[in-house]
Structure 1
Amino acid sequence: MTEKILCVDDEANVLAGFQRSLRKQFQLETAQGGEAALAMLEKGGAFAVIVSDMRMPGLNGLQLLQRVKQRWPDAVRVMLTGNADQQTAMDAVNEGSIFRFLTKPCPPERLAATLTAALEQHRLITAERELLENTLNGSVRALTDILSLLAPETFGRGQQLREQMRAVAESLKLPEVWALELAAMLHGLGQVTLPAEVATRARLGAALSAAEETMVRRVPEVGSNLLLHIPRLETVARIVLFQSKHFDGTGFPLDPPGGMEIPAGARLLKVLVDLAQLEQRGSSRREALALMRERGGWYDPQLLDAVAAVLGAGALKPTAGIAFKDLKPGQVLVADVITKEGLLILAAGNRITPSLLERLRNFAALSGVREPIYVEA
């Protein structure tokens, strides 16, 4: 049995009793007190089950298991205490999401049966998470491949936004950075439903008819609805939905929320998308940020300041010109790839994937491409 169990109590004789009665059945480790348990966990101790006494000096059992729930949610939590009052039990279940609540003295056979059930619960949690992650990864790969083929410019912009999102989110220590990165990468997913001409005019800021404006305005909603069908992407879908919402509550969607009630990821994505649009239309990063500061009520001022601080004036990355035959997956385009007749195949900013490389090879075989291809060095 490879899953480890951590038993926590402030009394050394109780921990010794755990070892005597359980070590032949389980892989057991002990910690004397809540602080010692946290130290073991912080050092990389991976435990399937954590059994904690309630009444301990300093960090008590409920406080410990609350932190375990936040930091190591897959660990199954069991409370063992001599205090059997109803309020203690309710707090343990509601605040610490306790799997079992046992009272002292607990017969060894009952404790062993509880630990066996807790290990089985951990296996179920782990199996479900792995299934969801495999489903999620496969679904996201399919979506990004489709987006890269149907809307390569949008996909390229999404890749740039993803890198910027990661840099700013990490500097602010925002939670679930993976979800923020994914929302940035798939922010334009709904654009696959736009006619090509409408998408191009919208990107360039050209005039649109009322019907076309409605189509463009609904892009976040369409993308969000697509993402809602994928397990565990609810947070990503919500960020995508509110990416056009102004900090003062105006903008799409027309109903609330506003201000800090808008998801932080959506508030940050709003800043990054608008910055990218202004740069695409010819503004320098410094000019774009200055213009954005004049748009009263559009942006979360703290996030706008953070983007300005992290992304700065937009330093240029070194580039290299290579032959088309030397282009490889993973390289990032710094200039558009066009055919010899002048048709845009792939926009600057795209990171080459196997499917994008196949697309380029097909165009090259039919029409040829202009060389060299400029990529980040």
Structure 2
Amino acid sequence: MSVPRKILFVDDEQNILDSYRASLRRRFSVETALGPEEGLEKIVKSGPYAVVVSDLKMPKMDGVTFLNKVQELSPDTVRIMLTGHADLDSAIAAVNEGSVFRFLTKPSHIDEMVRTLTVAVKQYSLVVAERELLRGTLRGSIKVLMDILSLVNPEAFGRSERVRRLAGFLGQSLSLAQPLHLDLAAMLCQLGCVTLPETVLQKVLKGEDLSPEEKQIFDMHPSITVGMLSNIPRMEKVTEIILHMQDSLAVNPTQPVESRVLRLCLDYDLLVQQGMEKQDAIDALRAREGVYDPKMVTVLEKGTAGEEGYVRREIALSELRVGMLLDEDLWSLDEVYIMVDGTEITEAALIRISNFAKTKRLPDRIRVKVPVEQVA
């Protein structure tokens, strides 16, 4: 049985709040807050609320300001404003600016209130369902695709897995409102590399200079990725992040914050994979004035580069488990390149290793990063 969606009424008059609760409690899960300060406190401590209904005229903080703060704290919450006839212009402006879903004039008939709340709850359910689709079905499908591509091109797609972990660390540290978009963009950011000639990709990974023609080819891979993803619904924000992930902040001051994170993580990973020590890589990035957000570089420097929660171990190949990370490239003893350093061990990766073990000689032991929860 599903839990009823909660609705919060906010007003500075207790008798009005009591009236809402009495008339609507049989149809909805109703809570009340006496004034905007108490309303914000309830949203933080008792949320999420499907719908917040606020009076326009309240002391200290008007309804428009209050609902804007609600939007910042709980973006999915549907916001409704109650207003008198004299304040219609303010209410209409709030709706047009996107901070309010609908407004009702006071006094509002109970039937009209019920209809409006019913529509608002449905709207909230749609928003939540769409987010769950991105988090569950779409994210899972993309993860399967990336696992397959990492077996075909371990260097490019093993890199995307490392960058994804870095980006997740930074996104959490920066308290991004929608970390899922960044996660999907990090997973997919190397998709366009499937079109690159192997010689160009190797030059990039080794830090070698590209010819003008090669640079032009490489610079096109984000737009190629965007083209590949253009037919997938609900990916507009993700493709925007990828499209601008090679911008520099000085050239594009409006570069999306997720794109800034992705650019920093990609460049940091490249320097580390080329043999730089982590602090040297941070110093090199900081020296590139105008390219990155300096605050993000500082966060990356102070953090653990996305590796927190792991311990390094050298284990037998037979001890590999899902969730571990390779801490070195995996080669067969007859020099077949199998997986890149940093690859997350998945079910598909275990199958690939098992198949190689049956047909080719593999090393007995390998260095890995083990999640702390798997450490005996």
Q: Retained in 1: the 8 A contact 2:222–2:242?
A: yes
What is the aligned counterpart of 2:90 among 88, 91, 94? Answer: 88
Query: 2:7: which partner in 1?
Result: 5
- SS of the aligned residue for 2:268 comes to helix
Query: 1:338: which partner in 2?
Result: 331
What is the aligned counterpart of 2:244 among 242, 253, 259? Answer: 242
Letter in 1 for 2:313: A
Q: Retained in 2: the 8 A contact 1:151–1:191?
A: no
Structure 2 CA distance, aligned partners of 1:118 and 1:177?
A: 25
User: Taking structure 2 as the reference length, what is the TM-score of the superposition?
Assistant: 0.86
Q: CA deviation at 1:45?
A: 2.8
Go from structure 1 to structure 2 and tell me whether the alpha carbon gap of 1:39 and 1:140 turns closer, same or farther (over 3 Å shift): same
Query: 1:281: which partner in 2?
Result: 274
Q: Retained in 1: the 8 A contact 2:249–2:291?
A: yes
Letter in 2 for 1:233: M
1:230 aligned onto 2:232: yes
Q: Retained in 1: the 8 A contact 2:80–2:103?
A: yes
Query: 1:323: which partner in 2?
Result: 316
1:35 aligned onto 2:28: no
Query: 1:375: which partner in 2?
Result: 368
Q: Retained in 2: the 8 A contact 1:187–1:240?
A: yes
Count of paired positions: 367
What is the correspondence of 1:265-280 to structure 2 with a 5 Å cutoff?
A: 265-280=258-273
Gaps of 5+ in 2: 371-376
- SS of the aligned residue for 2:361 comes to coil
1:347 aligned onto 2:328: no
What is the aligned counterpart of 1:307 among 300, 310, 324? Answer: 300
Q: CA deviation at 1:361?
A: 1.5
Q: CA deviation at 1:93?
A: 1.0
1:21 aligned onto 2:23: yes
Q: CA deviation at 1:117?
A: 3.1
Go from structure 1 to structure 2 and tell me whether the alpha carbon gap of 1:188 and 1:69 turns closer, same or farther (over 3 Å shift): same
- SS of the aligned residue for 2:225 comes to helix
Q: Retained in 1: the 8 A contact 2:53–2:80?
A: yes
Q: CA deviation at 1:135?
A: 4.0
Letter in 1 for 2:172: E
- SS of the aligned residue for 1:357 comes to helix
What is the correspondence of 1:38-187 to structure 2 with a 5 Å cutoff?
A: 38-95=40-97, 97-187=99-189
Q: Retained in 2: the 8 A contact 1:334–1:375?
A: yes
Letter in 2 for 1:284: E
Q: CA deviation at 1:297?
A: 4.4
Q: Once structures 1 and 2 are overlaid, which stretch shifts more, 127-136 or 106-115?
A: 127-136
Q: CA deviation at 1:293?
A: 4.3
Query: 2:216: which partner in 1?
Result: 214
Structure 2 CA distance, aligned partners of 1:70 and 1:177?
A: 15
User: Taking structure 1 as the reference length, what is the TM-score of the superposition?
Assistant: 0.85
Letter in 2 for 1:89: A
Q: CA deviation at 1:209?
A: 5.5
Q: CA deviation at 1:119?
A: 2.9
Q: Retained in 2: the 8 A contact 1:247–1:297?
A: yes
The alignment's C-alpha RMSD in Å is 2.9
Go from structure 1 to structure 2 and tell me whether the alpha carbon gap of 1:37 and 1:276 turns closer, same or farther (over 3 Å shift): same
Go from structure 1 to structure 2 and tell me whether the alpha carbon gap of 1:278 and 1:96 turns closer, same or farther (over 3 Å shift): closer
Residue deviations 1:189-208, cap 9 Å, x none?
21122243442333223465
Q: Retained in 1: the 8 A contact 2:78–2:101?
A: yes
Structure 2 CA distance, aligned partners of 1:266 and 1:125?
A: 24
Structure 2 CA distance, aligned partners of 1:131 and 1:265?
A: 20
- SS of the aligned residue for 1:304 comes to helix
- SS of the aligned residue for 1:85 comes to helix
Letter in 2 for 1:344: Y
Structure 2 CA distance, aligned partners of 1:77 and 1:44?
A: 17
Residue deviations 1:90-139, cap 9 Å, x none?
13312454333222222223323332333333334444444454442233
Go from structure 1 to structure 2 and tell me whether the alpha carbon gap of 1:298 and 1:29 turns closer, same or farther (over 3 Å shift): closer
Q: CA deviation at 1:294?
A: 4.3
